[in-house]
Structure 1
């Protein structure tokens, strides 16, 4: 197993690139699984790590862990209070709008209770089309196939929010077995060597809960998505690993305790 790509680390937190297909931690829905990001990272850095947010199993990209329970509580609060800036890249079917705000309420699916028992909660995602392509192949009922590269900024944190919002709007993410369309998923898997959900968390920015600085992390795509972007002519949109830590003028949360 390859070591995880560490994007940032200090004495309070660590951020890594989560590979597509790897579960973040053990859960009731992970029966039979033996590989988890949390345990792999703990073994790699030799320290206990605490999850503060989640990424779906098929989603890749930047994820942050705390190195103490106190910092975990502060970071978790920042995520729940929408104080964290998140950006994703997604490849979707069709020509997406230049910009749009998707605000369809979503049920908080947890996989344990019937959907009818779960109330719909407010949810909001801003999307922006960065590029598009028209391929001269008949994948569905049309003689050509159109796809778009979309930047998504979730403003709330519902389960599968970006996947469900884009599908509801008519632009399902390629590789989404639950909310997408199988014929397009198979085309990308068989013809474009992209057999995964084409959704990646590429940017995360938040005020450091202890140090007086803001942490802004950008995460490069994995080999599968990078090769696909080159093939589709989207190489100019490829993000690179980067870390910016400008100072804050206000004291951090822990400094005020």
Structure 2
């Protein structure tokens, strides 16, 4: 007898109207012309739940974390409206090159396409920790990195990645907007082959119950291993992030 190897997604929250899953890095939210034949979160979740599902926001393929999905058309419309009216608070965690300011706001318009009209885009951030490593990765004798908590106020395409590149602190693992030398250093030194950007939290008022709802995703084991190597696990615990259990051998 053969056992099924069908892929599933970790469910962070579910009720009769909506479900939130922990999206892995490397999977599209929904099928695109660039991902024909590949799995998508929408397809996996549809098969997992045995019903139609409706995606209501985007996460980049390389980003992991909280993905909210509606289970019916009315809920999809209600959630879409919350996102459009910026009533959903989003929080991310990232590792970036260099020492950022202790906190800041990146207010820099972005184009959806190369020749399109720039649209307002605003990203707030707070630095949680820094580290200086004794490696000459670039033109300096040492390599500096920051752990930042990020709160986007708008939702433009690749906004967080483009904004941190704009302030010269690209996210580690970003092959489109990042620093290839530092990306390669993390691959070779820490064995990490993904974008170090995680959608860690979504907060909003439930469209049906009217109750505040906060959904959090744990830090993936492969990322926790890097954070441990950089000495940042304790600050993550202090901020309330869920980490893999010791027995998971991260």
User: Is this contact kept in 1: 2:90–2:203, CA < 8 A?
Assistant: yes
Counterpart in the other structure of 1:246:
none
> Which of 48, 57, 63 is matched with 1:59 structurally?
63
Counterpart in the other structure of 1:218:
216
> Which of 38, 46, 53 is matched with 2:50 structurally?
46
Q: Does 1:35 align with 2:33?
A: no
Structure 1 residue 29: Cα displacement:
3.2
* Number of aligned positions between the proteins: 234
Q: Which runs of 4+ in 1 moved over 4 A?
A: none
Counterpart in the other structure of 1:5:
10
Q: What do residues 49-82 of structure 1 show as CA deviations (whole Å, max 9, x unaligned)?
A: 1000010000000011000011000101100110
SS in 2 for 1:120: coil
Query: Structure 1 CA distance, aligned partners of 2:7 and 2:55?
Result: 21
SS in 1 for 2:27: coil
Report matched runs for 1:99-118 at 5 Å: 99-109=103-113, 115-116=114-115, 118=116
> Which of 184, 187, 190 is matched with 2:188 structurally?
190
Quote the RMSD (CA, aligned, Å): 1.2
Q: What do residues 193-238 of structure 1 show as CA deviations (whole Å, max 9, x unaligned)?
A: 1111100000100111111211101111111111111111111215
Counterpart in the other structure of 1:122:
120
Query: Structure 1 CA distance, aligned partners of 2:212 and 2:51?
Result: 23
Structure 1 residue 2: Cα displacement:
4.7
Q: What do residues 128-179 of structure 1 show as CA deviations (whole Å, max 9, x unaligned)?
A: 1000100011111111000000111000010000000010001000010111
Counterpart in the other structure of 2:81:
77
Query: Structure 1 CA distance, aligned partners of 2:32 and 2:85?
Result: 24
Q: Does 1:240 align with 2:227?
A: no
Query: Structure 1 CA distance, aligned partners of 2:43 and 2:219?
Result: 22
> Which of 8, 22, 26 is matched with 1:17 structurally?
22
Query: Structure 1 CA distance, aligned partners of 2:105 and 2:186?
Result: 27
